[in-house]
Amino acid sequence: MEKNNLDNLRHSCAHLLAHAVKQLYPGALNAIGPAIENGFYQDFDLGKWSISEEDFPKIEAKMRTILPTWQKFSFKEVTLEEAKKLFKDNKYKVEMATEFAKQGKKLQTNDPGDFLDLCKMGHVENPAKELLHFKLLSVAGAYWRGDEKNKMLTRIYGTVFPTKEELENHLKMLEEAKKRDHRKLGKELDLFVISENIGKGLPLITPKGNIIRKQILDYEYELEKKSGFQQVFTPHIARSEMYKKTGHWQHYRDVMYAPFGIDGEEYVLKPMNCPHHYMIYAARPRSYKDLPMRLSEPGTCYRFEKTGELAGLLRVRALSIDDSHILMRESQIESEFKLCIEMVKKMFKAFSLNNFYVRLSLVDPSDAVKYIADAATWKKAGEKLEKIVKDNKLKYIIAKGEASFYGPKIDFMVKDSLGREWQMSTLQLDLFMGKKLNLTYINEEGKEEHPVILHRGLTGSLERTMAILIEHFAGAFPLWLSPVQVIVLPISEKFLEPAQKIKEELAKNNIRVELNADNKSLGGKIRESTLQKIPYMVIIGEKELKSNSISVRKREGKDLGSIEINKFINQLKSQIENFS
């Protein structure tokens, strides 16, 4: 089913949920109920009532009782005064109607037979036949209009599909996703901590988690080194005046933290790395021979995310961006994009994320507020970027109105092992900022020209990347990424000394290894190591000592039998070196 039709199906089911809740809980007020990715939600002011997931069977039963009476949605355009009268008992509908009217939008009611609502979205043609395969999923709190100053409402999430089979497959995927939830696995595998004492959205990466983070960064550094990138380091704060010059202040003020003073000047926590990199470029005269200049930095930035939108490592307030800014001549745009596209492809291969496409995010010319006003430059940049996408044979869709305020971009959308889509790498073409900040270089004729800029996020946020990889691999990382690659398991305390020697030999060869010296049964140690998803277990006992070998077992349960230690080490090294 096409996305628009699915959205209509899901939004219509939100109406059905609203009707059922209002019947079961007299006085409850329904607010908004949009379609979202893979489902819908409906917000309620429940008054004296409360709802938990234990109430879902009752609510679903009421929805199924109502459904046969719904034949077709009827629609009617109304004035603001009419809307206020029709929905006088629902302050949320009145507020929305008043706001829409101020914006010059038409007000429309809909009714499938016995449930009048105010709504401007699409709906299905025959609800009684099309809304059969639904399921309520979870309940959460949500501030009205997303504003923490407003009342906390009850948000019920659900999903609906055209067929029973599609619904069942989706529910199976959700069950598997619960097992893979990076917040759950992050705790079980000791990868990161979010402490109330430090603050929400400020993850603390543990020693094991930092090994994964460092492996990602080391891999990216090697990619960049081979491609002529130069790493820089920039502070975590800057004068707010810099962001006003670039335009970030005007376009990103709502996600920037409050300014603070130093020596009578106004500073902010760094929300992005771009201005810092520009000033490195601007620090001395540049020649066309210096270009392209590829500056990169895994820089930590700080952005205000609403508490209700924080989600483990996926949505944080301190995010490390594997950022790069390539300052170049217009004639170098295509070759630099090709270089970055190839880097992204190599990285996805290393992460076993082989199913991806790109979203070509372009300007919406009708939005005069969101974008720099220069239609000709936007047209030129958009056409150039679409040509690059086609020339590099990337599968793509167009997303109008999703460009950054300074240029169109390519967002790489990957599918994980469960088929879920995630946005990762981003390549943005910026034809504005060089002129805006008067960045220059001297061309062959001794004249000044402005460079153009490629903004490159290789994965995007490193925290988000870790979350995606935890869930993609279900915590069972490939050998090169695993925090602990081998664990040595002596059968009893009698074999601790030879086990320690085996550990030291592995460590000497740069294998990340631990020794389980606990006085437990071998079976218990194997179970514990399996739960920790350690790739290899090395077992040491009487048999191994006599044969001067080790017994090796994989986390999947496969017994590899006896092997000489040096041969095992060479196999590990080969597997680590040839992961991509």
Residue among 352, 356, 478, 331 at smallest CA distance from 425: 356
CA–CA separation, 326 and 356 (whole Å): 24
CA–CA separation, 134 and 123 (whole Å): 15
For the segment 515-567, what is each residue's pLDDT rounded down to a tens digit?
A: 999 989 999 999 999 999 999 999 999 998 888 899 999 999 999 999 999 99
What residue ranges do the domains of the chain occupy?
Answer: 3-164, 188-472, 486-577
Whole-Å CA distances, 13 to 102, 117, 168, 234, 350: 29, 13, 17, 49, 41
| 212 contacts 191 by C-beta, under 8 angstroms | yes
Q: 3-164: which CATH topology? A: Threonyl-tRNA Synthetase; Chain A, domain 2 (3.30.980)
CA 554 remoteness from chain centre: 31
501-505 CB contacts, 8 Å cutoff, 24+ apart: 502/538, 502/540, 502/550, 502/565, 505/565, 505/569
- In b/e form, how buried is each residue of 258-285, taking b as 16+ CB within 10 angstroms? eeeeeeeeebbbbbbbbbbbbebbeeee
Binding-site residue numbers are 274, 325, 455
Whole-Å CA distances, 299 to 121, 254, 406: 41, 21, 21
- Residue by residue, what is the 3-state secondary structure of 414-425? EECCCCCEEEEE
Whole-Å CA distances, 84 to 23, 29, 159: 22, 15, 31
User: pLDDT by residue for the chain (580 residues), tens digit each?
Assistant: 566 788 999 999 999 999 999 999 999 999 999 999 889 999 999 999 999 999 999 999 999 999 999 988 989 999 999 999 999 999 999 999 998 888 888 899 989 988 999 887 789 889 999 999 999 999 999 889 887 789 999 999 999 999 999 999 999 999 999 999 999 999 999 999 999 999 999 999 999 999 999 999 999 999 999 999 999 999 999 999 999 999 899 888 989 999 999 999 999 999 999 999 999 999 999 999 999 999 999 999 999 998 878 899 999 999 999 999 999 999 999 999 999 999 999 999 999 999 999 999 998 876 666 777 778 888 899 999 999 999 999 999 999 888 888 889 999 999 999 988 999 999 999 999 999 999 999 999 999 999 999 999 999 899 999 999 999 999 999 999 999 999 999 999 999 999 999 999 999 999 999 999 998 999 999 999 999 999 999 999 999 888 889 999 999 999 999 999 999 999 999 999 987 5
For the segment 164-180, what is each residue's pLDDT rounded down to a tens digit?
A: 999 999 999 999 999 99
| 71 contacts 128 by C-beta, under 8 angstroms | yes
Write phi, then psi, for 275 (nearest 5 degrees): -60, -35
| 183 contacts 471 by C-beta, under 8 angstroms | no
CA–CA separation, 84 and 109 (whole Å): 12
Asked if the peptide bond before residue 292 counts as cis, ω within 30 degrees of 0, the response is yes
pLDDT at 369: 66
Class of domain 188-472: alpha beta
Binding-site residue numbers for Zn(2+) are 274, 325, 455
| 413 contacts 395 by C-beta, under 8 angstroms | no
Any idea how long the chain is? 580
CA–CA separation, 73 and 123 (whole Å): 7
Q: 486-577: which CATH topology? A: Rossmann fold (3.40.50)
| 367 contacts 401 by C-beta, under 8 angstroms | yes
CB burial class (10 A; 0-12, 13-18, 19+) of residue 81?
A: exposed
pLDDT at 103: 85
pLDDT at 340: 97
pLDDT at 119: 84
CA–CA separation, 190 and 176 (whole Å): 21
Per-position DSSP letters for 360-407, written without gaps between them:
EEE--TT-TTTS-S-HHHHHHHHHHHHHHHHHTT--EEEEET-SBTTB
pLDDT at 398: 93
| 41 contacts 155 by C-beta, under 8 angstroms | yes
